[in-house]
Amino acid sequence: MNTDGVRINGDRLWNSLMELAQIGATAKGGVKRLALTDLDKQGRDLVTSWAREAGMSVTVDQIGNVFMRRDGTNSALPPIVSGSHIDTQPTGGKFDGNYGVLAALEVVRTLNDHQIKTEAPIEVAFWTNEEGSRFVPVMMGSGVFCGAFSLEHAYAAKDVDGKTVKDELERIGYLGKQTPGDHPIGAYFETHIEQGPVLEDADKVIGVVPAVMGLSWYDCVVTGMEAHAGPTPMHLRKDALQIATKIMQEVVNIGNRYPPYGRGTVGMVQVFPNSRNVIPGEVKFSIDLRNVNDTLLNTMHEEILAFVDKTASDSGLNITIDRVSYYPPCPFHPDCVDAVRSATARLGYSTMDVVSGAGHDAIYTARLAPSGMIFVPCKDGISHNEIEDAKSEHLEAGCNVLLLAMLERARVVA
């Protein structure tokens, strides 16, 4: 069957996004729909009802991941899966995650419209607690699915009110029976707003995502001595903040030393005693280093450790640095990247490669199956914000790329 002229229904996709966005809608035009809340249940119920209306069966696993299946002609083949998440940040937008789920659903609706059969089944997935806003760890559902951490560890996670993941899954009716990871995946695609400014700045419609950056997170503590800001001469001070700022500047320098994908950020700083006329005696701060190349990321790691050691020696202050999180760079499967690239070329959209600086569920699916991602621009590169926005024609374009990429993997039956 010739599918060259088949395109998704952009208005239907947009309307679905706007309807889902009403669940947890905020006064500023965003969405607050935290994982495993009553609002999350409403969102889940709406999306699964749309799936059933499209003739799909629904499976829920023990961590609440949801798989909505359109049968293929060969049920022995593993499904070609696409999806993302529908939980949001406390000040989230309409598109982060939600677009990936509803774009995949729109692919199924389009196949139904045109009575297109595929050899492999096609599935739409949404993963539990991707955002990590209510429960830690982040990307919980896909992480349990791929074995990055145990189901018991995820179940025991508590929110600020002491409610556990397992109890909340049971309460909202999404504590499924399937063992996470037992669900087969032949290939996985995730369509997403970029959450950064690169595509918009370059005036490109589609970002082909070859990889996701790896990251190293650290907690650093500089210990000096509190003293009165007036009577204490400059040369006799043990000013923890002034020494900490030298390390903070080096974090930025390290990011700049390894372009184009080097990143160095200090995002959280705690100064003690934080008084106007007291020399700071202790400073705690975070360090975030990222790169798409694991060798370079390791070099950046070694450089910050060496700089901290030298700064401690030169200043005479005690400085500790502990790596608290590490995710290696995630290159996506060449076949999936090529499928996205080929679909974009066939459709004639402007395109460029964009390495993702943010984490996505596709990082974890890539451990189990060939995976790839498709990016579309978002206004001013803003995400995790109630003013997050995207053009309907860009969302439609990304969904059309997803349609052709999934059909390439699932194979159309004549």
**In whole angstroms, how large is the CA radius of gyration of the chain?**
24
Taking the domains of the chain in order of start, what are their residue ranges? 10-212+329-410, 214-327
User: H or E element: which one contains 324?
Assistant: strand 318-327
For residue 299, the number of C-alpha atoms closer than 13 Å in the C-beta half-sphere is 12
- Domains 10-212+329-410 and 214-327 are alike in CATH topology: no
- For residue 184, the SS3 value is coil
> Which is nearest to 87 in space by CA: 137, 28, 127?
127
Tokens linked to 112: 């139904």
* Length of the chain, in residues: 414
What pLDDT score does 2 carry?
Answer: 76
Angle, alpha carbons 232-237-240 (nearest 5°): 130
Chain centroid to Cα 271, Å, comes to 30
Residues 75, 98: Cα–Cα separation, whole Å: 28
**φ/ψ of residue 158, rounded to 5:** -120, 150
What pLDDT score does 402 carry?
Answer: 98
Domain 214-327 falls in which CATH fold?
A: Alpha-Beta Plaits (3.30.70)
What pLDDT score does 414 carry?
Answer: 79
User: H or E element: which one contains 291?
Assistant: strand 282-291
User: Which letter does DSSP use for residue 277 in this model?
Assistant: T
Pairing of strands 282-291, 269-272: antiparallel
Residues 326, 401: Cα–Cα separation, whole Å: 32
Residues 185, 410: Cα–Cα separation, whole Å: 12
End-to-end alpha carbon distance in the chain: 4
Residues 151, 367: Cα–Cα separation, whole Å: 17
What pLDDT score does 61 carry?
Answer: 98
Tens digit of each residue's pLDDT, the chain (414 residues):
778 899 999 999 999 999 999 999 999 999 999 999 999 999 999 999 999 999 999 999 999 999 999 999 999 999 999 999 999 999 999 999 999 999 999 999 999 999 999 999 999 999 999 999 999 899 999 999 999 999 999 999 999 999 999 999 999 999 999 999 999 999 999 999 999 999 999 999 999 999 999 999 999 999 999 999 999 999 999 999 999 999 999 999 999 999 999 999 999 999 999 999 999 999 999 999 999 999 999 999 999 999 999 999 999 999 999 998 898 999 999 999 999 999 999 999 999 999 999 889 999 999 999 999 999 999 999 999 999 999 999 999 999 999 999 999 999 997
- For residue 115, the SS3 value is coil
CATH code at 10-212+329-410:
3.40.630.10
Tokens linked to 290: 């990222």
What pLDDT score does 169 carry?
Answer: 98
What pLDDT score does 79 carry?
Answer: 98
Strands (E), 122-262: 122-126, 187-193, 206-209, 211-212, 214-223, 227-228
- For residue 121, the SS3 value is coil
Residues 312, 360: Cα–Cα separation, whole Å: 37
Burial 270-289, CB ≥16 within 10 A → b, else e? ebbeeeeeebbbbbbbbbbb
Whether omega before 210 lies within 30 degrees of 0, making that bond cis, reads no
Question: Which strands sit side by side in the sheet containing 66-70, from one edge to the other?
Answer: 57-60, 66-70, 122-126, 80-84, 187-193, 371-376, 206-209, 351-353
- For residue 402, the SS3 value is helix
Is 120:79 a contact under the CB 8 Å cutoff? yes
For the chain, helix, strand, coil in percent to 5 are 35, 25, 40
What pLDDT score does 3 carry?
Answer: 81
Is 84:102 a contact under the CB 8 Å cutoff? no
